[in-house]
Structure 1
Amino acid sequence: MSKYISIFFLTVLVSVILFICFLMMGLEELAVPVYIIVMFAFIVTMQFYLMDKVKKNN
């Protein structure tokens, strides 16, 4: 489970860094989609989890 938590938090950390960089460059319109990246990070992490679950059951 720690593998999936680290994948999620790594993606969230990268998106927060991008958010700060976009705000510092004055690109507020690009900073909004970073929130969407956080939601997709959760979805991708859950997909990795489910794929591993299916592999272990087969």
Structure 2
Amino acid sequence: MVIKDNEIKGYLNGKRYLINEIVLKIQIKIYLRHRIVNKKFDKSKQIYYNPFIGRSRKN
């Protein structure tokens, strides 16, 4: 998708930033909840939620 108009491009980048910020907040909440539930928390097998992909495992 090629956008020549810089204003539209900037607007879309801003939208993407907001979405990423929301995703990050969700990931932090789930990370904290997971850590409280499971005392033997392994960061290498952290499960996080991404609304675009669904549940996935971080390697």
TM-score range with shorter-chain normalisation? 0.3 to 0.5
How high is the TM-score relative to the length of structure 1?
Answer: 0.47
Task: Choose between structure 1 and 2 for higher RCO, CA contacts under 8 A separated by at least 6 residues.
Answer: 1
How high is the TM-score relative to the length of structure 2?
Answer: 0.47
Q: Considering only CA atoms, is the larger Rg found in Structure 1 or Structure 2?
A: 2
Which has the larger share of strand? 2
